[in-house]
Homo-oligomer: A and B are copies of this chain.
Amino acid sequence: MTDRTEITSLGEFGLIEHLTKNIEVNNASTLIGVGDDAAVLDHFGKQVVVTNDLLIEGVHFDLMYTPLKHLGYKTVVVNISDVFAMNATPTQILLGLAFSNRFSLEALDDFYEGVYAACAHYGVDLVGGDTTTSQKGFIISCTAIGEVAPDQYVKRSGARKGDLLCVTGDLGAAFLGLTLLEREKKIFLETPGVQPDLEGEKYVVGRLLKPEARRDTIAFFAEAGITPTSMIDVSDGVSSEILHLCKQSDVGCVLYEDKLPINDETRNAAFKFNLDPTACALSGGEDYELLFTIRQDDFEKVGNTNDISVIGYITDSEAGAHIITKGGSKHRIEAQGWNAFQ
């Protein structure tokens, strides 16, 4: 048995002190961090990027198969992924947490261990937040702040006809990790005591439980002198994100099924579940890769290096958004990504 310390034994301010006492500041822009009414930042002539996400137990994560440490890490990653998607560098986060009294101090410590690990890995400072009770479940609000050199940010709306459509890494793995863990959960609930069978599934499970954000891609853009014409991160599924880029840029696109980057383990997991790997890649979501467009002139710079795949190109708006299958047929792309309200 592990120890259990009741949160009530510390009180609200004691808890905040406990959770934040070892914070080390990484960024010169962090003037005042945790412990005042608000944090104070100085980005010295840079522009500021800010984004917010809510993660709700039972909607966005299941604590039955999500270790709290991983959840803490993922909370940070999910949020700073949006900062990278603006071509910016994350510098600070604020964390708002609400939890019921079923959470012990040790459980919170696990969560914060993951938060601090991600902060250290990405050089981000935790500078504030809020801690309170919930009536039900664990509720996480994360705000990420970043900086970008003046007017170097990349919007969703800048894609132009002829631009190349690119994506980092590979797609669909997190969705198959989720499918697998949901199956194991069902088996466990029906037959408690059965150990999960995750043999050979490390990659897809890891992509779900401990995703990383594409800091390397932003660094590569800066080194190579590439400014994408538009960019978005892949959270809801690449087809949904492509439609965002097309709508906000007022363009269409052609996407090639055989160019979609899919890891072998993802493909094998899909076959095991009788799922189409392409459908998983298009609609799976939670990949936290970057989807972006570049001018054709920049094609040489990207090459096939840096974990970037060219998956299609941008067309006129009137042409719509289509995928060319391996068999050569053409289908309209439809958003089947994750929708909280379905």
Task: Report A15-57 CB contacts with B as 1/0, cut-off 8 Å.
Answer: 1000000000000000110011111111101011111111011
A228 within 8 A of B: no
Which chain B positions have C-beta within 8 A of A82?
Answer: 37-38
* A175 CB to nearest B CB, Å: 18
A328 interfacial contact with B, CB 8 Å:
no
By beta carbon, the residue of chain B nearest A144 is B38
Report how far A40 CA is from B39 CA in the complex, Å.
Answer: 18
Q: Which residues of A contact B (CB under 8 A)?
A: 7-8, 10-12, 15, 31-32, 35-43, 45, 47-54, 56-60, 82-83, 85-86, 88, 92, 94-98, 127-137, 139, 141, 143-146, 148, 150, 153, 155-157, 231-233, 248, 339-342
A98-B38 contact given A32-B153, A341-B11, CB 8 Å threshold: no
CB atoms of A54 and B132 under 8 A apart: yes
Distance between Cα atoms of A133 and B137 in the complex (Å): 13
Q: Which residues of B contact A40 (CB under 8 A)?
A: 47-49, 86, 88, 148, 153
In addition to A11-B341, A36-B155, A50-B143, 8 A-B residue pairs with Cβ atoms within 8 Å of each other are A40-B88, A42-B150, A50-B127, A56-B135, A59-B134, A60-B132, A133-B341, A135-B137
Pick the contact of A129: B41, B52, B144 (CB < 8 A). Answer: B52
Q: Output the least CB separation between A117 and chain B (Å).
A: 21
Cα distance A145–B43 in the bound complex, in angstroms: 14
| Chain B min CB distance to A144 (Å) | 8
Please list 20 pairs of residues, one from A and one from B, whose beta carbons are closer than 8 Å in the complex, sorted by A's number: A11-B339, A37-B51, A37-B232, A38-B51, A38-B82, A38-B88, A41-B47, A42-B47, A43-B43, A43-B48, A50-B92, A51-B94, A52-B128, A54-B139, A56-B135, A59-B132, A59-B134, A96-B141, A98-B139, A143-B143
